[in-house]
Structure 1
Amino acid sequence: MVSRFILAISTSSGVAKVAAATEPLELNAHAADLFNFEITDYKSQSAQLLPMIQQHLEQANLKPAQCAAIAVDIGPGGFTSLRTACGVAQGLAVAWQVPTVPLTSFECMLTAQLPDKPVTVLMDARLNEIYAACIQRTAQGTQWVKPPHLLALDELQNIHGSAVCDAHVYAQLHEPGSVAVQGAVCAVRLAQLAWQEFEAGRVATPFDCQPLYVRDKVAQTTTERLALKHGAV
């Protein structure tokens, strides 16, 4: 019988991904996946997310009283998508009176099989840019060797060492293989990492769970668009 579970919510990739994982039975063991699902229709995510969470909880015979925490992927990612995930996580955490475990999209890209050393994580940021960070998971949590930042797409050639890339970035590499592997944001992995954070006491209040925006600005003003059109700088 399930004693406690963590509910994990990720929408940073444009696909809503949700998973629930039970408490690990042994130290350093991975949490067992209870259920996971995706909502690929971007336009209906905000409307479908809560009803589908409720549906899967009922099918798995899980009660809110068994929830230890709500884990959420805070980004980087799409502006509206991140707000949806954080808003749902905050609402459930307040209603169920549990803490949140905010983790980044970079951490959700890490697989359990990666080597115990710093890894560069690269994700498509559109506009010919890449979200990048160099991280390492330790018993103390995530160590940020290089914090989240933006790279121009043509700077991919300067990436050295172990790397995990989403599908779009991986396709841009000239020589993928030995040092770069393809990955994806994973809600199950988010839930597993969240258990590690929860058991170490690294949790947040619901309203401390806020989106991570690496890019400060994604749109041009009317004046800026006109200036570019007419060749002004």
Structure 2
Amino acid sequence: MSLHLLALDASSSACSAALLRRENGAATCLARFEVAPRAHTRRLLPMIDDVLAEAGITPRQLDAVAYGRGPGSFTGLRIAAGAAQGLAFGLERPLLGVSTLEALALQAHRRFHFRHLVTALDARMNEVYVATWHCLNDVTTAVSDEAVMPPQALRLPSADTDWVGVGSGFTLWDAFADDVKVRLTQHVTDLEPRAEEMAWLAARDIDAGFGGPAHAAQPVYLRNDVAWKKPA
């Protein structure tokens, strides 16, 4: 089955867009990625234009749209969700939200062949967004639910497993519990979620029959109160 799927992400300091193309069973992905703090609104739409132009297609030829649904930057999640929602609504195409933490796990697995991963993003306010994954042959399987917590509250499953930590959450390394540090064989802090991995994950979900109407787009903040308030 042929497929043209556009994915967008603005969940971190980086901004990205990717177009997955699948024809006759062969799939390729065109992508743009840029670390652009506070410039997501200005950079995201040109990235979309770039990948569509490189592919030689128009928006009308898209079959689905995906976006980084979170967790991540509150403002960035709204920017990506709004852009993806507008495209999907206007084109009458299905819309898929993709976990930023799962996309980060897939990226680390594909680049470094890590199999047991803890993905963590800096959630500010001395907390991290975190989840654990087993990865094999480009397939990610969640071991724990996504959560937001202080680093010192993290506990790792599977006592006999060596884990690798990935993501900006590990810039708070000193705050993690000693037993967690011992079980993390290494940690990589400079990877950001990317639309490229989100496109592959969204294609998997499309094949499984997922994908909803544009109006159902909902960023996942993991916090009930997404606005920081100065203590009284």
- Superposed pair shares fold, TM > 0.5: yes
- For normalisation by structure 1, the TM-score amounts to 0.77
**Which aligned pairs between 1:84-163 and structure 2 lie closer than 5 A?**
84-111=79-106, 112=110, 113-115=113-115, 119-136=117-134, 144-155=142-153, 158-159=155-156, 161=161, 162-163=163-164
Displacement of 1:37 in angstroms is 3.2
Which secondary structure state, in structure 1, belongs to the residue aligned with residue 185 of structure 2? coil
- The residue that corresponds to 1:172 in the other structure is 173
Task: Tell me the SS of whatever aligns to 1:101.
Answer: strand
> Counterpart of 2:28?
32
Quote the Cα distance in structure 2 between the aligned partners of 1:119 and 1:17: 23
Over 3 Å counting, the alpha-carbon distance change for 1:164 and 1:197 in structure 2 is farther
Aligned to 2:177: none
Q: Which residue of 2 aligns with 1:186?
A: 194
Q: Report the alpha carbon displacement of residue 114 of structure 1 after superposing the two structures with TM.
A: 4.2
Whether the aligned pair in 2 keeps the contact of 1:74 and 1:212 (CA below 8 Å) is yes
2:216 aligns with 208
Residue pair 2:118, 2:165 contacting (<8 A) in 1 also: yes
Q: Are residues 24 and 110 of structure 1, via their aligned partners in 2, closer, same or farther at CA, if it must alter by over 3 Å?
A: farther
- SS at structure 2 position matched to 1:12: coil
Cα distance change on mapping 1:152 and 1:88 into 2, 3 Å: same
Could you say which structure has the larger radius of gyration? 1
Aligned-pair identity in percent equals 28
Q: Which residue of 1 aligns with 2:178?
A: none
Q: 1:124 to 1:195 in 2, by over 3 A?
A: same
Q: Secondary structure at the match of 1:53?
A: helix
Q: 1:67 aligns with which of 42, 54, 62?
A: 62
The separation in 2 between residues aligned to 1:65 and 1:46, in whole angstroms, is: 22
Report the more deviating stretch, 52-61 or 174-183: 174-183
Change in 2 beyond 3 A, CA 1:52/1:134: closer
Deviates more, 1:78-87 or 1:181-190: 181-190
* SS in structure 1 of the partner of residue 196 of structure 2: helix
Query: Secondary structure at 1:147's aligned position in 2?
Result: coil
Q: 1:209 to 1:142 in 2, by over 3 A?
A: farther
Which structure 2 residue ranges, 5 or more long, are not aligned?
175-180
In the aligned structure 1, how far is the partner of 2:151 from the partner of 2:40? 29
Q: Secondary structure at the match of 2:83?
A: helix
Displacement after TM superposition at 1:64 (Å): 1.8
Question: For 1:126 and 1:107, how far apart are their aligned partners in 2?
Answer: 20
Structure 1 residue 136: deviation in Å? 4.9
8 Å CA contact retained: 2:114, 2:135: no
Q: How far 1:41 moved relative to its partner?
A: 4.0
For residues 6 and 137 of structure 1, what CA distance do their matches in structure 2 show?
23
| Cα gap change, 1:202 to 1:136, in 2 (>3 Å) | farther
Q: Helix, strand or coil for the counterpart of 1:197? A: helix
The alignment partner of 1:172 has SS state of helix
**How high is the TM-score relative to the length of structure 2?**
0.77
Q: Give 1:108's aligned amino acid.
A: A
Matched length: 213
How large is the RMSD of aligned CA atoms in angstroms?
3.0
Q: SS state of the match for residue 56, structure 1?
A: helix
Once the two structures are TM-superposed, the CA of residue 213 in structure 1 deviates from its matched residue by 1.0
